[in-house]
């Protein structure tokens, strides 16, 4: 019997309720279900739960109940072992969380019967070197499904960066921040900042400035066949890095270079429909 992990949006009462219903349904089907010890649902209903490490190590599939933010949290548990993830949507858009909250039973039946497809999504990989050209101290390689964001640590400060493609300084930007997005993330923060919608099957990265101090700064779509680096030029204070909406502990310094490339690891997205991305774009963004 496959082991199935189940997590939910801890701040959404409906998500916690749907997660409990999904848990009960899985158990009625004799499924082996693992819950996270620090999630609201097992605490509220006094259910057995495991550590994050055990969840990552033992599960064969992971179900997220919430919106795309909850799906992203689930995805980060699954990157290294490339565990397939299924999303039950209790949020608004649902680009990643495909299953409607009323359709979870049908989806679970299909999952248990292996009647589903797996869509692979590209991950972006980030390394950092300091101004001496050495690996950033206390920094471990990061992965992102949606985007990395670099922003100023202090309000009212401007971020100064260079975008370097294949060793050539392509652009110098002054802005509140910069978004480096995957095609999957093109419908998220990057879109809100004026970036384009990109087919998630594309092997590109989208670089979008946040509130640029220029009349002509626009998003740039760059093939990942190229080398992409972003060099930090800001001299007052440190800059902040986040991955998929989660601020990282690493503080960025002037002279640091962020090296972005396509990861060999992919996210495995459990899906039951063809062309879902374009359907959601039409339903949520165009109509």
Render pLDDT for 17-72 as a digit per residue (tens, 0 to 9).
999 999 999 999 999 999 999 999 999 999 999 999 999 999 999 999 999 999 99
pLDDT band at 2 (very low <50, low <70, confident <90, very high): confident
Measured in whole angstroms, the distance separating CA 18 from the mean position of its chain's CA atoms is 22
Q: Is the pLDDT of residue 275 over 90?
A: no
Mean pLDDT within 258-277: 91
For the stretch 155-189, pLDDT in tens is 667 899 999 999 999 999 999 999 999 999 999 99
* Closest of 150, 183, 109 to residue 251, by C-alpha: 150
Domain borders along the chain are 3-116+272-286, 123-264
User: 76: which 2 tokens?
Assistant: 């980060």
Q: Catalytic residue at 199?
A: no
Equal CATH topology for 3-116+272-286 and 123-264 = no
Mean pLDDT within 91-115: 90
Q: Is the pLDDT of residue 236 over 70?
A: no
Contact between 75 and 145 under an 8 Å Cβ cutoff? The reply is yes
DSSP secondary structure of 155-175 = TT--EEEEEEETTEEEEEEEE
Mean pLDDT within 59-86: 96
- Looking at domain 123-264, its CATH class is mainly beta
Q: Is the pLDDT of residue 120 over 80?
A: yes
Contact between 128 and 257 under an 8 Å Cβ cutoff? The reply is yes
Q: Report the pLDDT value the prediction gives residue 199, as an integer from 0 to 100.
A: 95
Contact between 147 and 188 under an 8 Å Cβ cutoff? The reply is yes
Which of 3.10.20.30, 3.60.20.10, 3.40.50.10330, 3.40.50.150 would CATH assign to domain 3-116+272-286?
Answer: 3.40.50.10330
| Low-confidence winner among 44-58, 119-133, 144-158, 261-275 (lowest mean pLDDT) | 144-158
Q: Is the pLDDT of residue 284 over 80?
A: no
In angstroms, the Cα distances linking 5 to 74, 95, 124, 275 are 9, 21, 24, 26
Q: What percent of the chain has pLDDT over 70?
A: 98
Which neighbouring-strand residues pair with 269? 85, 119
Strand ranges in the chain using DSSP code E only, listed in sequence order: 3-8, 32-35, 61-66, 85-89, 99-100, 117-129, 142-144, 147-152, 159-165, 168-175, 177-181, 204-210, 220-223, 228-232, 239-243, 246-252, 257-271
Round to whole Å and give the CA distance between 192 and 116.
32
Mean pLDDT within 75-84: 96
* Closest of 15, 182, 13 to residue 90, by C-alpha: 15
| Low-confidence winner among 64-78, 83-97, 188-202 (lowest mean pLDDT) | 83-97
User: 176: which 2 tokens?
Assistant: 């509140």
Burial of 261 (0-12, 13-18, 19+ CB in 10 A): middle
| Of 68, 160, 239, 256, catalytic | 68
In angstroms, the Cα distances linking 51 to 5, 29, 57, 71, 159 are 11, 24, 10, 18, 38
* Closest of 125, 121, 140, 126 to residue 68, by C-alpha: 121
Residue 197, phi then psi, degrees to nearest 5 = -85, 130
């Amino acid at each position: 019997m496959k082991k199935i992990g189940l997590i939910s949006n801890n701040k959404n009462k409906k998500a916690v309720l749907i997660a409990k219903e999904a848990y009960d349904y899985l158990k009625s089907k004799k499924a082996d279900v693992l819950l996270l010890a620090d999630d609201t649902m097992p605490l509220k209903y006094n259910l057995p739960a495991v550590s994050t490490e055990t969840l990552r190590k033992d599960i064969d599939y992971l179900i997220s109940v919430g919106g795309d933010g909850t799906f992203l949290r689930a995805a980060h548990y699954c990157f290294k072992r490339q565990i397939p993830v299924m999303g039950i949507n209790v949020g608004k858009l649902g680009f990643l969380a495909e299953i409607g909250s009323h359709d979870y039973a049908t989806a679970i039946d299909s999952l248990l019967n292996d009647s589903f497809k797996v869509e692979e999504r590209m991950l972006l990989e980030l390394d950092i070197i300091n101004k001496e050209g050495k690996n950033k101290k206390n920094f471990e390689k990061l992965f992102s499904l949606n985007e990395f964001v670099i922003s100023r640590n202090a309000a009212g400060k401007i971020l100064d960066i260079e975008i370097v493609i294949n060793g050539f300084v392509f652009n110098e930007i002054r802005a509140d921040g910069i978004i480096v997005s995957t095609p999957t993330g093109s419908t998220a923060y990057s879109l809100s900042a004026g970036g384009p919608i990109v087919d998630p099957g594309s092997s590109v990265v989208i670089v979008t400035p946040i509130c640029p101090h220029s009349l002509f700064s626009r998003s740039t779509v760059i093939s990942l066949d190229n080398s992409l680096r972003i060099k930090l030029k800001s001299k007052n204070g440190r800059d902040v890095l986040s991955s998929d909406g989660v601020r990282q502990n690493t503080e960025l310094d002037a002279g640091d270079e962020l090296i972005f490339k396509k990861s060999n690891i992919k996210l495995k997205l459990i899906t039951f429909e063809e062309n879902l991305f374009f359907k959601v774009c039409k339903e949520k963004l165009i109509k």
